[in-house]
């Protein structure tokens, strides 16, 4: 818009009457062009914020999966978990068991790595029973210690990788069960129930974790709705300015 206005101005500058007419319109044209630029900047910023908000929802569901699994994984060792007819536990059971099988396989790898790390640390501690008495011994000890510590670092890296793989499995669990629980609790509600058994306690734990996650997601959706409404308002404002 600004380029068009300038083009019109320079193409008519040799015509006094036309130049006077264009000059009288220039301030309004320039103002509209500047406002359009500001509006486009605001809209671009809000669209970027919308992208971030869209990413927050699955990220929150993944965090929900980690938290929920960590609260419930011990439940799979309880006989009541398999015998109860509670609707919440029955709904979660197949998802939790499938996740638990994958997690336990990785847990064994992590325990093996932890055992190797403990042995490596103990060997390094025993490698230098006497303090070095000269620079040659100090240099030799330093080289040996560096090699041992490098091996320990490799083991720690392997453990961190296994933990990352475990978290990915838990996050997948969260993505799967959130929608399932949302449908279930849409009927049952998320109110706490009287705790007369271990199962009741587990059900309340599930409801509490879900309720917090749902509240966070609803807040994200409210913020997203507000951003969309602001963009619509900017579009309307720009349309009115063109009239």
| pLDDT means over runs of 10, the chain (243 residues) | 49 53 52 67 86 94 96 87 92 94 90 86 76 72 78 89 94 96 92 91 94 96 91 73 57
CA distances from 31 to 26, 106, 242 (A): 8, 64, 11
So what's the pLDDT on residue 129? 63
Q: Calculate Rg over the CA atoms of the chain.
A: 32
- Is the whole model's pTM more than 0.75, yes or no? no
So what's the pLDDT on residue 6? 46
Q: Find out whether 62 and 175 touch, Cβ atoms under 8 Å.
A: yes
H or E segment and range at residue 120 = helix 87-126
- In three-state secondary structure terms, 7 is helix
So what's the pLDDT on residue 59? 96
CA separation for the pair 53, 222 (Å, rounded): 10
Contacts of 231 (CB under 8 A, 6+ apart): 43, 46, 47
């Amino acid at each position: 818009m600004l380029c068009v206005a300038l083009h019109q101005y320079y193409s008519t500058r040799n015509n006094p009457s036309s130049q006077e007419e264009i000059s009288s319109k220039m301030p309004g044209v320039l103002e509209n062009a500047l406002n359009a630029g500001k509006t486009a900047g605001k809209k671009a910023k809000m669209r970027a914020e919308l992208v971030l908000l869209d990413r927050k929802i699955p990220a929150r569901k993944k965090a929900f999966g980690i938290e929920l699994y960590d609260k419930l994984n011990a439940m799979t060792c309880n006989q009541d978990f398999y015998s109860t007819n509670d609707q919440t536990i029955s709904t979660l059971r197949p998802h939790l068991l499938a996740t638990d099988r994958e997690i336990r396989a990785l847990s064994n790898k992590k325990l093996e790595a932890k055992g190797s790390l403990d042995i490596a640390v103990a060997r390094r501690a025993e490698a230098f029973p006497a303090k070095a008495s000269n620079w040659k011994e100090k240099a030799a000890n330093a080289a040996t210690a560096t090699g041992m510590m490098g091996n320990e670092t490799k083991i720690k890296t392997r453990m961190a990788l296994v933990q990352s793989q475990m978290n990915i499995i838990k996050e997948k669990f969260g993505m799967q069960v959130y929608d399932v629980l949302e449908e279930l609790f849409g009927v049952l509600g998320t109110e706490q129930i009287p705790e007369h058994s271990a199962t009741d306690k587990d059900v309340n734990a599930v409801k509490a974790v879900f309720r917090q996650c749902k509240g966070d997601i609803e807040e994200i959706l409210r913020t997203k709705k507000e951003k969309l409404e602001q963009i619509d308002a900017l579009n309307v404002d720009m349309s009115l300015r063109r009239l």
